[in-house]
Amino acid sequence: MEITAFLDRKLARRFRTYDADGDGYIGREDFTQAGERTVKTFGLADTDPKAVRFHAALLGLWEQLSSVIGQDHDGRISLDEYKKAFADGLLETPESFDEGYVPFLDALMAIVDEDGDGKLTVEEHVMWTGALMNLSEADARMIHDMLSDDDELMSVQALLEAIREFYFSEDPAAAGNWLLGSLD
């Protein structure tokens, strides 16, 4: 897959959400810490079945990313390696993307969608995006407003469609391309 200039900017922005310490690399520990923050934010014990499922799904994403890259055994991934992983197959089609991402999203939503109605309140959205991706509250509220219905609830389906747009749409105005706030 060709990485367009626009997708390159989006991947760089997504990489920064993983790189919590800003050292220019992501590693298994970044994924583990993000999972721990998210579980703690929603008041779950690490042994709760939802937390166990979520941690496994999150580390599964790390393993998938690591295996595509064929790491140089330093246990971390640079921005260039991250982008190369997408060019080499993680984003072949929306369907192949869904195969890897939907199970993770399901595990996340089992924690985040506290009443299990398939819709997120703005508070739930702000909490999970802040804990998992260090997204600012302002950015989280902005995208929630863009994707929510008349009752100010964001459906999990709308979120999944926005995530797909983030990775596959070249339209800068598409809501999904604002998923992580500004690309700058």
**24 token code pair:** 């220019």
What would the DSSP string read from start to end of 72-91? -SSSEEEHHHHHHHIIIIIT
**What pLDDT was estimated at residue 143?**
94
Q: Is the dihedral of CA 22, 27, 29, 35 positive or negative?
A: positive
Q: How far apart are CA 131 and CA 108, in angstroms?
A: 12
- Between 137-147 and 122-133, two packed helices, what is the crossing angle to 10 degrees? 130
* Nearby residues of 181 by Cβ (< 8 Å), 6 or more positions away: 13, 135, 136, 138, 139, 142, 143
> pTM of the entire structure?
0.89
CATH number of 5-178: 1.10.238.10
**What pLDDT was estimated at residue 21?**
85
Q: What is the mean pLDDT of residues 54-71?
A: 84
pLDDT in tens, 122-168: 999 999 999 999 999 999 999 999 999 999 999 999 999 999 999 99
Where do we find the tokens 């469609």?
161
Q: How far apart are CA 54 and CA 142, in angstroms?
A: 26
Q: Are strands 119-120 and 76-78 parallel, antiparallel or unpaired?
A: unpaired
Share of the chain above pLDDT 70, in %: 96
pLDDT in tens, 120-133: 999 999 999 999 99
Q: How far apart are CA 3 and CA 87, in angstroms?
A: 6
